[in-house]
Each structure stands twice: as structure tokens, then as C-alpha cells.
Amino acid sequence: MSDPSVALRDRLRALRVAIPAVARIAAAEAVAKQLLLLPALQGADTVAGYWAVAGELPLHGLMARLPARTRYCLPMLQPDRTLRFAPWRTGDAIVANRYGIPEPAQAAQALAPDALDVVLLPLLGFTRNGHRVGTGGGWYDRSFAFRHAAPAPPLLIGIGFACQQIDGHAAQDWDVPLDAIVTEREVIACTR
């Protein structure tokens, strides 16, 4: 018997990768505009994003428009299978992690997950109540497990395409719920 979560991830990954480049660029622009209107993002000192790979919605348009005082950070894989987040600006040195995803080369400046104000998380799928389906590695869930017992900060915002919304998918006990989801169509405030 096959694992239904594997089939779901495969279906969502294929759906995301099939989005044409012109639609991906337009969606990224729409998401950046919506994010910049959020009070939490406007007042944030540190915003963590991600380097878009495998069809993820890119955040380059947002990075260029953040206030100068805002530190934009990218995730860095840690040996304990958690993430830390290092400040990064266009042109800063990067290195590829074990999955080939670029990370900041300045590991010494990496911040713990609880030191961030806002975290923008990539996703394969999502439910309107804040359940995020990721790639299955558990990196974000382990890193933000403390959010099970404490509210934001950091505010956790899932970033994706509207077509990635799914219904009827049950969260696992270890899944860390999102506070909001932003797609090219809307901002969804998640309620639990």
C-alpha cells in the first residue's frame, strides 16, 4: 500500500512546477504587494524568507522593497536538522547546502528561529486553517516547534500559489500551524 502523503506531495509538486513562468512572475509580484501591506511586515526588524527552488513562489520582488532597516534572512541547515537564519542581501556570498539550495556564507551571523519577527515559509500545499504541507523533511516544524506552546513572534506566514490550497488534509501532532497564508489572490488569516 502506498503512503497517501507521498502521493499528495507528488501531485502538489507537479502542480506547482507546471505553473508557467509568466504566471509565476505575476504571482510573485502580487504576493510581494500584499505582504508589504501587512502591518507585521512593515514593523519587522528581521524577516526570514527562502531561496525559491523547484517551482516555489519567488520572493525577490519583496526583498528589493523591504525597508532599509529590515534585515532579510535566509535559512541555513543545521546538523541537528533544524534551521538558523542568516542575514543576506543581493550580492552577498552564498554556498550550496547538501540539497543544492543556496545559503548565506556568513554562518557566524545566523539567528535562532525565536529571534525573528516574521518568517515566510515555502509550501507545497495548505489548508485555510493554517496547515502547511511541506516537502516532508520536517525542517521548519522542528525549528519552530516552540510555537506549539507560545504565540508569535515570529509570525509564520506561508507563501504559495492559490492553486496549492487543499481541503480535508489532517495535520500531524508535530506540524506547526501557520498564522497566515499569502497567495497571489488573497491574504488568509488562519484560525484554529
* Least confident stretch, 101-110, 155-164, 165-174: 165-174
Which among 154, 168, 190 has a CA at the least distance from the CA of 46? 154
Beta bridge partners of 157: 120, 180
Dihedral of the alpha carbons of 164, 167, 173, 175, in degrees to the nearest 10: 20
- What local confidence, expressed as pLDDT, does residue 3 receive? 61
Residue 173 has pLDDT above 80, yes or no: no
Name which of 50, 39, 22, 29 is nearest 119 in CA terms: 50
Hey, what long-range contacts does 139-143 have (CB within 8 A, 24 or more apart)? 139/75, 139/77, 139/81, 139/82, 139/83, 140/83, 140/176, 141/174, 141/175, 141/176, 142/80, 142/81, 142/82, 143/82, 143/83, 143/113
Q: What is the mean pLDDT of the chain?
A: 91
- In angstroms, the CA 43 to CA 174 distance is 29
User: pTM for the full model?
Assistant: 0.94
* Least-confidence region, from 74-83, 90-99, 136-145, 165-174: 165-174
Q: The domain 4-189 is classified under which CATH number: 3.20.20.80, 3.40.309.10, 3.40.50.10420, 3.40.640.10?
A: 3.40.50.10420
Structure confidence by residue, pLDDT tens digits, 109-146: 899 999 999 999 999 999 998 889 887 788 999 999 99
Report residue 1 as a C-alpha cell. 500500500
Domain ranges of the chain: 4-189
Residue 73 CB neighbours (<10 A)? 23
Longest dimension (CA), the chain: 52
Residues 181, 24 contacting (CB under 8 angstroms): no
Q: Are 78 and 182 in contact (CB under 8 A)?
A: no
The identity of residue 170, as a single letter, is A
Q: Is 153 helix (H, G, I), strand (E, B) or coil?
A: coil
Residue 141 gets which letter from DSSP?
H
